Chain A
Amino acid sequence: MSLFCRTGFGYLLVMAACLGPCADSDGQQPVATPGTLDRLHEPILRQDLEVGPAQSCATSNCHAGPRPGVALETARRGSEYQIWIERDPHAQSWRTMCSDESLAIMRRLKIMDGDEIADRVGFDNCLACHNSTKRFNEPRTSSNHPSISNVAIAANSNAFQREGVGCSSCHGPSQNWIHTHFQMDWSSAGATTEGFVEAGDVFVRARMCASCHVGDKDRDMNHDIIAAGHPALRYEFATYHAWQPKHWRDHESADRSRYESQLWLAGQIAAADASLSLLQSRSSNSQTVSQWPELASFDCASCHQSLGLVNDRSTARLSRQAVARYSRWNDAGLRWLIEYRIATSVAVQEDHELLSALDRVVQQAEAKPQPDPIATTRAALEARMALARWFDSEPGYHERSSLCSDRLVGVVAFAAQRPETFTTWESSVQFYLMAVAARESWPGGWSGPLRGIVDRLRLGLSYPELLDASRFPNRSDFAGPTLDRREVTQLGIELAGWLGPVTIEQGSIKLDDDETNAQKMETELDAMLERIELRWKGTAEQRARELAEFNAELDANEKRRNAEEETQPKRTIKSAAELKEELRQKLESRDIDSSENDR
C-alpha cells in the first residue's frame, strides 16, 4: 500500500477510484476524479446540467451571423454556427451514425436488431461521441426536466437532439451560462464550475477533444467495436487541430515557434490522461461496455500480424514477453519529453514519479494474458494523479511556458536514440509527428533538407492512411515507398542527425540481435559442416581403399566357388510360384485335417 500511497488521503482517493467511477450522493454519474486532470474538461463529464441544442446558439445576433468570407483567417465572431454546420465534420457525425456501414457495425454488435435498437447501453456509448447527448441513459435534456428520475420520459421524448457533435459537446452544458456568457463582466476562466469548458486554453481544449478521440470514463470505443468495423482511434491533437476548420480566431498561431510545440505538448498530456482514464474505467468492475481484458488498450500490431519467418513489419520488443503490447500511442511523446528532461538533468521528483507510474501501468497490463483488473485500475489512477502533479508543479509550468520548437527539436534528436522509439508503427508515427511539430526550428525550415526525409517518413508510414490498421504498411496494399521497421529507424536517425547530436544506445542495436544471432549461428554451422566434410573426405578415401580390398577378396572367393560348383551338381532353388503352390497344398491338407477333426 505504501508503495502507491504516501498519504492517508491519497489512499482514500485510490480506494474510492478503484471502486469505479465515483457517484455523488444522488447516485449521479461520475464527474471529475479528484486529483486528476479531469478538472480541465469536467463540464463535459457532468450529467446534472441541461444541454442546449446547437440551434439555440444559432441566432443571427449571436453565433449564426453572416458567413465568413473566403478565408478562415477572416472568420469573425458571429459566424461560428455556419462554419460548424457547413465545414466541420463534427456536424456530420450523426449522419455517420446513420450510414449503412455504421448500421452494419451496430448489427454485428447486436446493438441493433434489424432496425430496432436492442442494446441501449451500447447505443448510448456510440452516441456519447457521435452526438451531443445520449438517448436512453441521458438525464440532461433540452427541456425542463434535468433530473435523473426522468430518464424514462427523456428517452421517449422528442427532446433528443440529433445534431451530431454540437456546441455543447465541446463547450459544455449551457444551463448555467447561456444567459450570462455574453455579458461584459463574464469571465470564461472562472466559468468551469458553471459548466463551461474553457476551450481557449489549449490544454483544456486538448483534454476535451481527447475525451472522444481517445476515450474517457463515460465513452469507450473498444475492441468489439473495432472488430465490428469501426476504425481504431489513432488521434494526435496537433495534427487534427490543423485539419479542423476553425470557427474561432486562432490567436496562438501567431507565435509560430511556440504554436505547434505547445499543441503537441497539450495533445500528449491530454492523450496520456484520457487513455489512462479509459483504462481505469475498463479495468474497474463497474464498466458496462468493455469486458476485461480490453484488447483495444493494446497495440493492434502486436497481435494483428500475419506470421512470417522474418517480419520487419511486426512490432518488436526489447523483452521476450509473448503477451500483447500495451499501446504506446498515447504516452510515447510524454515519455520522450520526461526522459529528455532526465537526460538533460532538469528533471525533478515529479518527472521520475510520473515515468515510473507510467511504467507500472505497462507492467500491469502486460503481466499476463488476463491482467489483474484491480491492480491495473490502481496503476492507471496513480499514473493519472502523477500526471496531474507533474502538470501542476514546476515541470508542467516550465514546459507549458517554454516548450517551443527550439526545445522540441532536442526532444526529437533524443527520442531517435531511444531503443523503444522505432519498435512499433505507433511509436514511429508519434516520432514523425513530433518532428513535424518542431518544424519551425528545422535547419532551413519547412523547405530545408529535412523536408525530404519527413516526406519519406510520412509516405512510408502511411499516416494517416493507416489510421485503422496501425502497423508498418504492407507493400502490396500501398503504392509508393512504404517503409519497414529498419528503414524507419534509419530515416529517423538520419532526421535526428540534423537536429542534434545522436548517440545510438545499445538497445536499438539489441533489437536486431535475434536475426544477427541466427545468421551467426547459421554461418558457424555451415563453417563447421564444411570442416567436418573436409575431414570426412580424407577418412572416406582411406576407407574406400580398405573396402575395395574387401570386394577384391570377395571376387576371389566367388571365382573359387564358381570353380568348385562346376565340379559339383547344382542345387535347385524353388521359385516363388513353387513355394506358394507348396503352401497352398499345405493349407488345404490342414483344412481337411481340421474338418475331419470337426466330424
Chain B
Amino acid sequence: MMVCKRQFLLLAAIALWSVSANAQDDRSAPTLEQRLSDPVYLAWIAHEDVKGCVQCHFRGPSDEELIGGSFVDFARRIEMDRWLSQDKHTIARRRVEPFSDEQSEAELDALIRRVNKQQETAIAALQKRNRRVDVSQIGFAKVPEEWIGPSNILSRRICDKLWGSGSVKTEAGYSKFRDQCLTCHGGYRPGDRGFDLATIDDSQLGIDCLYCHQVGENQKWIDDHSSQNAAKNWRLQSPEQKANAGMRDLVNTSNQSQMCFDCHIGNREKNMFVTHEMYAAGHPPIPSIELQTFCNEMPQHWQSQSQLWKSLSNYQGRSEYFRVNYPGVSTTQDYSGTFWNTRALMVAALAARVQWLDLYIASAESHQWADYSLYDCAACHHELRSHSRRQQRYLTIDPLRQPSAPGRPRQNEWPDVVLRIAYVFGGKASLTKTLELETKLESLFNATPFGNADDVRMTAEELRSHLIEAIDTVERKPVPASVAKAVLRGLSTTPEDKLLTYDSARQVVWAIQMVAKELRDEAASLDADTEAIIAKLGDAELTGIESKLPAGRQQFIYPDELASDLERRSAFEPSRLKRQLNELHQRLVAAVQP
C-alpha cells in the first residue's frame, strides 16, 4: 500500500521535472538525472505531508494559469524546488541520526533498493512520454554523504558520552535523543509519530514544510490559501486571521525571527537547548545568527518583500497587502523605497535579545540556572594572556552592557553589535529605559559569578516586556536608503571592545555585507572602493573572519569546516578587522559630506 502511494507521488513529482519557472532563480536547477540520483529529493517527494506542497510549489504557474490570468505572483510556486535540492533543513535529522554500523548498512541497503525502484518507475513513466534519460548519469557509485557520513558518527559519540556507550541503541536511550536533539534536528514535538527507535524510517529526514508554516493542528489554511478565490479571500487577510486558520505568520519579521531563533539560539520550554554538557560531548558551537544572511544561504525559497513589491506590480491589492502586513513602514501607498533587509537586521537583533532573555527566564524558572551555555563561550574559552584586550576593556567606557567586574562569565556578546544600533533606531523615548534595564541586568551578572537566578529573571522579564514594545515600534518605522546608510556607518564604528569575540566580529561583518548588498540591489550603490573594502571584510586572510558558512545541503560542518572554524576562533584578535572598519568608516563619512 505504502509503496503504491509512494509510486503515485513519485510520478506526480517526476512529471514536474522540466521546471521552466527557474528564470527568476540565479542558481541553476538540477538536471533530471541529478534529481533521479538524489536520495534526499527522492525521499521528500514521496513524503506524505509534503506532497501537497510539491504539487503546487514546484514548477511555477502553468501556462493555463498564466494565460487565464488567474495567477497572482504572491508565491512564485517554485519554492519546493529550491528547498528540495539545496536546503540543509531537509536533512537536519538524517545527518545526526546516531546509526550503529548495522543500522547504517541496513539503511543503505534499503536506500538503494528504494531508489532503484523509484528510478525504474520514473524512467518507465518518462519513456511513455518519450523523454530520453541519460542512463550513465543516473544513480550513485558512492554513498551520498548527505545520507550517511562522519556527522552521524559524531552524533553517536555525543550520545555515548551523554547517556552511556551504546545506550542510544535502546528505546529508552533513543527517546532521550528524540526529546533533547530531535526537537531541533527533526522538528519533533511531544506526541509526534515516527520519532521512536522502532519507527525510524526515511520518511522524516529533517524539518518539513509544516513545521515552519503551520501553527497547531488546524489545517484550514491549506485549502484557504490555495483555493481559486485565494486572491480575494486570503491574501488580504490580516496575519491574525491567517494564524487563526492555522498558518504561521512568517511574513512578520519578528515572528519569523523567533521561529528561526528557537533552534538557532534556543528555546528551553520547547526543549531546544544545547546544554554545556552537549557541547562538551562534541556538539559544534552554535554560530551567531544574522537572520537575512542565513536566509540567503538556505537559500531563501520565498520572495523578499522588495521582490514581492515588484512581482505584484500588476496586482491592484498590492498596497493594501503591504499595509495590512507592514503597517507604518510606508506613510504613502508606495513601499518601493523600503530597505527591508536592513529593517529585518534591526528587528532580528531585538528579537534575538528577547530570545536570550527568554532563555534566562525559562532557565531560572525551571531551576536549571547557570548552565554554562547560557554565557558567552569566549568568556571562558580563550587563551590566558597578560595585558590582553579582555583586561584592558575594564578601563574603557561604553554605555551598552559594559563589564564592570573582571572575571565574571559574561552574557553572550554577539547580539550587542547590532543591538546598539537597533536600540537607537527604536527611538529616544525608549532608549533611556532600555539602557537602564540593560545596565541593571549586566550588573546582576557582575554582582556574582553566573548571576543570581531570581534577580536575573525579574530584570529579564522587565526588559523583555519593554523590548516587545520596542520591536513593535521598530517594525512600524519606515526604513529608507538614508537609514540603511546610517546603519552602515553605525556598524563601521563598532568599538574594538565589542569585537573581542569571533562571533561578535563576524556578526558585524555579516551585517555590513548584508546592508551593502541591499544598497546595491536597490540601486543605491556605494562607490567601488567602499564596496571593495566591504567585500574583503569576510576574507579570513585579511581580517581573520570567514563570512562564508558551510550552508546548503552539499556542505558539511563536521569535521573539516568545524576544525578550521575553531582554529579561526582561537586565533582571532580584532585589530585587523578594526583597521578595515576604520577605513570603511572614513569612506562612508566622506561620502555624506558635501
Contact of B132 among A228, A322, A551 (CB under 8 A): A551
B85-138 contacts to A, CB under 8 A, are: 101, 104-105, 108-109, 112, 116, 119-120, 123-124, 127, 130-133, 135-136, 138
Residues of B within 8 A of A469 (CB): 383-385
Residues of B within 8 A of A318 (CB): none
Residues of B within 8 A of A295 (CB): 407, 449
- A sample of 30 cross-chain residue pairs with beta-carbon separation below 8 angstroms, ordered by A number, consists of A224-B405, A226-B407, A227-B406, A228-B391, A229-B386, A291-B449, A293-B450, A295-B407, A306-B569, A307-B285, A323-B372, A368-B370, A469-B383, A517-B157, A517-B160, A521-B156, A522-B153, A525-B150, A525-B152, A529-B142, A532-B143, A535-B109, A536-B140, A539-B116, A543-B139, A547-B123, A550-B127, A557-B130, A561-B130, A579-B63
B592 at the interface (CB under 8 A from A): no
B169 at the interface (CB under 8 A from A): no
Complex formed: what's the CA distance from A525 to B120 in Å? 29
Question: 1/0 per position for A556-599, CB-CB distance to B under 8 A?
Answer: 01100100000000000000000100110011001000000000
Contact of A300 among B384, B386, B563 (CB under 8 A): B384
Q: Separation in Å of the B107 CB from the closest CB of chain A?
A: 10
Complex formed: what's the CA distance from A532 to B390 in Å? 52
Contact of B377 among A226, A292, A307, A583 (CB under 8 A): A307
A308, B570: Cβ atoms closer than 8 Å: yes
Residue from A231, A300, A307, A529 having most chain B Cβ neighbours under 10 A? A307
B200 at the interface (CB under 8 A from A): no
B532 at the interface (CB under 8 A from A): no
B566, A307: Cβ atoms closer than 8 Å: yes
Contact of A307 among B108, B381, B449 (CB under 8 A): B381
A548, B135: Cβ atoms closer than 8 Å: yes
Q: Separation in Å of the B134 CB from the closest CB of chain A?
A: 8
Contact of A227 among B69, B156, B391 (CB under 8 A): B391
B101, A525: Cβ atoms closer than 8 Å: yes
A474 at the interface (CB under 8 A from B): yes
Which secondary structure characterizes the binding site on chain B? helix
Contact of A537 among B108, B120, B141, B314 (CB under 8 A): B141
Interface-located stretch among A42-50, A74-82, A104-112, A446-454: A104-112
Given contacts A322-B281, A532-B143, A583-B67, contact A370 B123 (CB under 8 A): no
Complex formed: what's the CA distance from A547 to B387 in Å? 70
B440 at the interface (CB under 8 A from A): no
Number of chain B residues close to chain A: CB under 8 A: 79
Residues of B within 8 A of A471 (CB): 384
Q: Separation in Å of the A551 CB from the closest CB of chain B?
A: 6
B404 at the interface (CB under 8 A from A): yes
Complex formed: what's the CA distance from A543 to B404 in Å? 70
Question: 1/0 per position for A512-543, CB-CB distance to B under 8 A?
Answer: 00100110011011001101110111011001
Q: Separation in Å of the A528 CB from the closest CB of chain B?
A: 6
B372, A322: Cβ atoms closer than 8 Å: yes
A507 at the interface (CB under 8 A from B): no
A229, B153: Cβ atoms closer than 8 Å: no
B302 at the interface (CB under 8 A from A): no
A586, B372: Cβ atoms closer than 8 Å: no
A88 at the interface (CB under 8 A from B): no
Given contacts A369-B450, A370-B450, A551-B133, contact A528 B105 (CB under 8 A): yes
Given contacts A291-B449, A368-B370, A547-B135, contact A304 B384 (CB under 8 A): yes
CB-nearest residue of chain B to A474 = B383
CB-nearest residue of chain A to B160 = A517
- 19 A-B pairs besides A521-B156, A543-B120, A558-B132 with CB distance below 8 A are A107-B394, A109-B405, A110-B404, A227-B408, A229-B386, A231-B386, A295-B407, A304-B380, A306-B569, A307-B570, A308-B566, A370-B369, A370-B370, A521-B157, A522-B150, A543-B116, A550-B135, A554-B130, A579-B67
B222 at the interface (CB under 8 A from A): no
Interface-located stretch among B272-280, B411-419, B508-516: B272-280
Residue from B275, B407, B567 having most chain A Cβ neighbours under 10 A? B407
Contact of B66 among A224, A308, A551, A579 (CB under 8 A): A579
Contact of A309 among B140, B407, B559 (CB under 8 A): B559
B448 at the interface (CB under 8 A from A): yes
B536 at the interface (CB under 8 A from A): no
Number of chain A residues close to chain B: CB under 8 A: 72
A372 at the interface (CB under 8 A from B): no
Complex formed: what's the CA distance from A109 to B406 in Å? 7
- The 3 residue pairs across chains A and B that have the minimum distance between CB atoms: A227-B407, A306-B570, A322-B280
Complex formed: what's the CA distance from A554 to B133 in Å? 9
A554, B127: Cβ atoms closer than 8 Å: yes
Residue from B153, B277, B279, B563 having most chain A Cβ neighbours under 10 A? B153
CB-nearest residue of chain B to A302 = B380
Q: Separation in Å of the A107 CB from the closest CB of chain B?
A: 6
B139, A540: Cβ atoms closer than 8 Å: yes
Q: Separation in Å of the A375 CB from the closest CB of chain B?
A: 16
Q: Separation in Å of the B62 CB from the closest CB of chain A?
A: 11
Residues of A within 8 A of B148 (CB): 525, 529
A179 at the interface (CB under 8 A from B): no
A71 at the interface (CB under 8 A from B): no
Chain B: residues with CB nearer than 8 A to chain A? 63, 66-69, 101, 104-105, 108-109, 112, 116, 119-120, 123-124, 127, 130-133, 135-136, 138-143, 148, 150, 152-153, 156-157, 160-162, 275-277, 279-281, 285, 314, 369-372, 377, 380-387, 390-391, 394-395, 404-408, 447-450, 559, 562-563, 566-567, 569-570
A494 at the interface (CB under 8 A from B): no
Complex formed: what's the CA distance from A587 to B404 in Å? 66
Question: 1/0 per position for A215-247, CB-CB distance to B under 8 A?
Answer: 000000011111111010000000000000000
Q: Separation in Å of the A414 CB from the closest CB of chain B?
A: 30
A289 at the interface (CB under 8 A from B): no
Residues of A within 8 A of B448 (CB): 291-292
Given contacts A307-B381, A558-B130, contact A533 B142 (CB under 8 A): yes
CB-nearest residue of chain A to B108 = A532
Contact of B395 among A107, A518, A590 (CB under 8 A): A107
Question: 1/0 per position for A93-122, CB-CB distance to B under 8 A?
Answer: 000000000001001111000000000000
CB-nearest residue of chain B to A223 = B407
Contact of A554 among B63, B109, B132 (CB under 8 A): B132
B136, A544: Cβ atoms closer than 8 Å: yes
Given contacts A469-B383, A521-B156, A532-B105, contact A547 B133 (CB under 8 A): yes
Residues of A within 8 A of B161 (CB): 320, 514
Q: Separation in Å of the A321 CB from the closest CB of chain B?
A: 8
A292, B449: Cβ atoms closer than 8 Å: yes
Residues of A within 8 A of B404 (CB): 110
CB-nearest residue of chain B to A310 = B563
A455 at the interface (CB under 8 A from B): no
B449, A293: Cβ atoms closer than 8 Å: yes
Complex formed: what's the CA distance from A307 to B120 in Å? 48
Residues of B within 8 A of A294 (CB): 449
Question: 1/0 per position for A456-476, CB-CB distance to B under 8 A?
Answer: 000000000000110100100
Given contacts A369-B370, A543-B139, A579-B66, contact A307 B569 (CB under 8 A): yes
Residue from A222, A369, A586 having most chain B Cβ neighbours under 10 A? A369
Residues of A within 8 A of B372 (CB): 322-323, 369
Complex formed: what's the CA distance from A198 to B280 in Å? 48
Complex formed: what's the CA distance from A380 to B139 in Å? 66
A32 at the interface (CB under 8 A from B): no
Residues of A within 8 A of B157 (CB): 514, 517-518, 521
CB-nearest residue of chain A to B63 = A579
Complex formed: what's the CA distance from A304 to B570 in Å? 11
A553 at the interface (CB under 8 A from B): yes
Residues of B within 8 A of A522 (CB): 150, 153
CB-nearest residue of chain A to B156 = A521
Complex formed: what's the CA distance from A225 to B407 in Å? 8
A503 at the interface (CB under 8 A from B): no
A180 at the interface (CB under 8 A from B): no
Q: Separation in Å of the B193 CB from the closest CB of chain A?
A: 29
